[in-house]
């Protein structure tokens, strides 16, 4: 699944266009590598998302095409 689509479906970023722009600006990295929006995310990948001066790190645990709002957090686990 594309990284921009994953960020939208998992509700880490609200809209896919915003996720796409974040990738283009180099604010999204997978396994310490800055990626383009078309990068294929796999289960076990570690994503790092920079929101201003804050950074969120997660590990991909699920790749579902359709997820209910309540179940979106089951698609990843936070890394401290």
CATH architecture assigned to 3-78: Roll (3.10)
Strand, helix or coil at 56? strand
DSSP 8-state assignment for residue 41? P
CA-based torsion, 34, 66, 43, 57: positive or negative: positive
CB atoms within 10 A of CB 18: 13
Q: What global pTM score does this model have?
A: 0.91
Encode the chain (80 residues) as per-residue pLDDT tens digits.
999 999 999 999 999 999 999 999 999 999 999 999 999 999 999 999 999 899 999 999 999 999 999 999 999 999 98
């Amino acid at each position: 699944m594309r990284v921009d689509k994953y960020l939208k479906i998992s509700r880490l970023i609200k809209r896919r266009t915003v996720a796409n722009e974040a990738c283009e600006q180099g604010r999204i990295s997978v396994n310490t590598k800055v990626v383009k929006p078309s990068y294929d995310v796999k289960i076990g990948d570690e994503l790092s998302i920079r929101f201003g001066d804050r950074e969120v790190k997660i590990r991909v645990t699920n790749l579902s095409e359709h997820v209910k709002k309540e179940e979106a957090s089951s698609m990843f686990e936070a890394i401290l």
